[in-house]
Amino acid sequence: MTIPWVTLPHVRLIILAALAACGTEQQASPPPPAVAAAWRTISWEPYTGVEPSDLGLGVVYLRRAEDKGATLGTDTLTLRASPDSAAPAVGAMLFVVGTNGITSYQIMTPDSLAPNLVEYGYEESGMPFDSTDASGRWLRALLGSAPNGTMRTGWVNATQTGVGTIRWAEHVSDRPIFFPKPERAAFFASADSTKPVAAPRGGEDEYAMHPEEVRGPWMRVRLVVPSDNCEPEPATRRTRQVWIRYLDDRGRPNVWYYPRGC
Section 240-262 average pLDDT: 94
Strand residues in 98-195 grouped as ranges (E): 103-109, 114-115, 118-121, 124-132, 138-145, 151-157, 163-167, 187-188
Exposure b/e, 100-111, CB count within 10 A at least 16 = b: eeebebbbbbbe
Q: What's residue 18's pLDDT?
A: 44
Section 182-202 average pLDDT: 89
Question: Which helix (H) or strand (E) element contains residue 21?
Answer: helix 13-22
Q: What's residue 55's pLDDT?
A: 97
Please, which pLDDT band fits residue 235 given cuts at 50, 70 and 90? low
Q: What's residue 20's pLDDT?
A: 41
Q: What's residue 49's pLDDT?
A: 66
Helix (H, G, I), strand (E, B) or coil at 236: coil
Q: What's residue 12's pLDDT?
A: 42
Section 167-177 average pLDDT: 96
Which residues, at least 6 apart from 219, have a Cβ–Cβ distance to it below 8 Å?
173, 211, 212, 213, 243, 244, 245, 246, 255
Residue 10 has pLDDT above 60, yes or no: no
User: In the chain, what percentage of residues exceed pLDDT 70?
Assistant: 84
Which of 128, 13, 110, 133 shows the shortest CA–CA distance to 61?
128
Q: What's residue 51's pLDDT?
A: 83
Residue 39 has pLDDT above 90, yes or no: no
Please, which pLDDT band fits residue 260 given cuts at 50, 70 and 90? confident
Section 139-155 average pLDDT: 96
Residue 31 has pLDDT above 90, yes or no: no
Instruction: Choose from 1-15, 19-33, 78-92, 195-209 the range with maximum mean pLDDT.
Output: 78-92
Please, which pLDDT band fits residue 71 given cuts at 50, 70 and 90? confident
Residue 3 has pLDDT above 60, yes or no: no
Specify the higher pLDDT residue, 194 or 202: 194
